[in-house]
């Protein structure tokens, strides 16, 4: 294996990278608080999502590649439509999000935040968020 291309699309270090299930796109999240969507064939940035204010910690495409979830130290998870860039949903969080992942078949998002218990100790909890399914 060898380096094929080096891409520049952020003003700060990339923290996370995720490919969609179709292989058509990949997304990068950066310390500049931006999420860039890249076309894997053309190797160009086709869209930038700028709804987060803090460095992007984690990204995940839905199983069908239509949705992109991104999170940071902001107290919400942004879920965007890959095709249009529009916000689909904002999942409120009580603390910064460390990681998230979509279910491989359903519109179910698992995520873990910096939650604390009543004694201010790490709670170690995982939460699930589901989007309505189409009939």
How confident is the model over 30-58, as pLDDT tens digits?
999 999 999 999 999 999 999 999 999 99
Q: Domains plus CATH for the chain?
A: 14-130 (2.130.10.10)
Return the exposure string of 83-102: e unless at least 16 CB atoms fall within 10 Å of the residue's CB, then b: eeeeebeebebeeebeebbb
What pLDDT score does 11 carry? 92
**d(Cα 21, Cα 102) in Å, to the nearest integer?**
11
Residue segments in the chain with a per-residue pLDDT below the cut of 70: 132-135
What pLDDT score does 123 carry? 82
What pLDDT score does 122 carry? 83
What pLDDT score does 80 carry? 98
Residue pair 36/43 in contact by the 8 Å Cβ criterion: no
What pLDDT score does 134 carry? 59
Q: How far is CA 77 from the centre of its chain?
A: 8
**d(Cα 29, Cα 10) in Å, to the nearest integer?**
9
What pLDDT score does 4 carry? 86
- pTM of the predicted model, to two decimals? 0.90
What pLDDT score does 135 carry? 46
What pLDDT score does 133 carry? 64
């Amino acid at each position: 294996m060898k380096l094929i291309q080096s891409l520049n699309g952020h003003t700060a270090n990339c923290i996370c990278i995720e490919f969609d299930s179709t292989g058509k796109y990949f997304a990068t999240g950066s310390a500049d608080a931006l999420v860039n969507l890249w076309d894997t064939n053309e190797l160009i940035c086709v869209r930038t999502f700028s709804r987060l204010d803090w460095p992007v910690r984690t990204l995940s495409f839905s199983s069908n590649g239509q949705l992109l979830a991104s999170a940071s130290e902001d107290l919400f998870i942004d879920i965007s439509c890959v095709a249009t860039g529009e916000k689909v949903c904002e999942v409120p969080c009580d603390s910064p999000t460390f990681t998230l992942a979509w279910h491989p078949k359903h519109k179910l998002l698992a995520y873990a935040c910096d939650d604390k218990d009543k004694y201010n100790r790490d709670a170690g909890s995982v939460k699930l968020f589901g989007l309505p399914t189409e009939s």
